[in-house]
Amino acid sequence: MAFKLFTTFIALAAVVTAGVAQSDLASCDFVFTPDVPVDPAVTNVVADFNFITGRELAIASPTGEVFVQGSTFTENPDDVFSVHNDLSAVDWTCAQVSEFFEGLPAQGPFEGPSGVNWNIETAVCACGN
């Protein structure tokens, strides 16, 4: 299973960097919670956040071609992570990307390459930043 996730992650990285237009980005703020306690000094949570948001957008978008700017996060008490990322998808407007992500909470958990299952508690996106 770990090999499959790693292979999927590498494939996603190739899609993300394949020259997708970086215009019309949705600027999204998420709240992620893990199913087990997570130490960001040990677990690569940024890889998990990028993978989950990129994979879910690629699956949902018409072409599967996405751009993921790269997550930044703040760890809050009780393993709550505030995450920011800018994303786009070929053939989708910023408004469509935003609508997709804002509908994603409560559909998880989503497994990251670390093996941690994450819930997206909230997602709020804006366009034109």
The pLDDT, as a whole number, for residue 24 is: 85
Q: How far apart are CA 104 and CA 53, in angstroms?
A: 10
Question: 93, 45 in Cβ contact below 8 A?
Answer: no
Q: What is the pTM of this model?
A: 0.82
The pLDDT, as a whole number, for residue 18 is: 46
Domains in the chain, ordered, with CATH?
2-126 (3.30.70)
The pLDDT, as a whole number, for residue 106 is: 80
What would the two tokens of residue 102 be? 């804002």
Longest CA pairwise span in the chain (Å): 39
Which DSSP string do the residues of 94-110 spell out, in sequence order? HHHHHHHHHT-TTS--E
Phi-psi sector, 40: left (phi>0), alpha (psi -120 to 50), beta: alpha
Task: Please state the length of the chain.
Answer: 129
Q: Would you give per-residue pLDDT tens digits along the chain (129 residues)?
A: 444 444 444 445 444 544 445 778 999 999 999 999 999 999 999 999 999 999 999 999 999 999 999 999 999 989 999 999 999 999 999 999 999 999 999 898 999 999 999 999 999 999 986
